[in-house]
Amino acid sequence: MTSEPVFDHLFLSVGAMKAGTTWLYDVMNRHPDIHFSHEKEIHYFYAQALRPGLLSDRARMRRAKGYLAFDPEVSHAQVLQKRVAWVANWLKEPVDDAWFNGLFVNRGAARWIADFSNLNALLPGTAWADIHARTRRLRVLYTLREPCDRLWSHVRFHLKIQGQSHLLDGWNTDEIFNHIQQGDYLEHTDYLAAITRLRTALPDDCLMIDFFDRIGGDPRGFVADIERFLDIAPQVVPDTIVSRVVNPSPARPMPAGLAERLEPFAAAQREGLRAMGLEPPASWG
């Protein structure tokens, strides 16, 4: 650890994608000891390590357009002023550690700054070691979902975002399976590789691994465990928030035969997790 860390108390949720991270954000964003920037998924560390173009000047300009949208009939001037100031920081350059910290200038008394970027699960171990070395106190949360369910949810969500959900009306099981193999779906479901990278670089107390199933089965217990992980006071979360479904994929049953095609990959993940000392929920099979 350096004598002068660049980052203070940094809380990163790294996925897995379509494993409840938006629900977690919706809940944890209400805690007074956790501060998120105006953007839930900054992707800074992923961009620095693997894909700089993700935060290019033009890319940030495109995202800024959405940040500045407001309704003059209902918006409050003070809120808009803060947002405009935040967007000004977002558009500054260079995109470096000072830029990242500048996105959290309104943290107030919150102990933790937080970024929930699922792309960070793909960071190499060297990047994690570097983040840890530059942070006074780092906590990383990785939530896992049953592999076949996660893959199918990701496919539906991705095609929805691309405006291509109609493709699923015509694709057979082989075509869907080929689509999965050709994209980055399997990479985001390779929990074993991600956990290996994280464990190699981070001390045990920096990393919490849990399961998506707890959001439906024990949501308050899940939140309480995260609060203990961060060493922050427990907060009462309203029932309406705990039970809310956030950012769902379009409803569509998994095509017949797809689970069987994906089972060898899913079985390898289950067996590998057990070998790591992580017992998947019974619902995983």
DSSP states of 69-111 = ---TTT--HHHHHHHHHHHHHHT-SS-SHHHHHHTTTT-TT-S
Q: Quick one: tokens of 283?
A: 């619902």
* pTM of the predicted protein model: 0.94
22 near 246, Cβ under 8 Å? yes
Domain count, the chain: 1
232: in domain: yes
216: in domain: yes
The pLDDT value recorded for residue 242 is: 83
Q: Any idea what the CATH number is for the domain that residue 166 is in?
A: 3.40.50.300
12 near 138, Cβ under 8 Å? yes
156: in domain: yes
Q: Which domain holds residue 197?
A: 7-37+104-284
Among the listed residues 179, 66, 176, 41, the one whose alpha carbon sits nearest the alpha carbon of residue 121: 41
The pLDDT value recorded for residue 1 is: 43
The pLDDT value recorded for residue 3 is: 64
The pLDDT value recorded for residue 2 is: 45
138 near 202, Cβ under 8 Å? yes
Residue ranges of the chain with pLDDT lower than 70? 1-3
71: in domain: no
Please name the helix (run of DSSP H) or strand (run of DSSP E) that holds residue 230, with its range, or none: helix 219-230
C-alpha distances out from residue 148 to 45, 128, 142, 210, Å: 28, 27, 18, 17
208: in domain: yes
The pLDDT value recorded for residue 4 is: 84
Helix (H, G, I), strand (E, B) or coil at 141: strand
Q: Which amino acid is at 226?
A: I
33: in domain: yes
The pLDDT value recorded for residue 244 is: 81
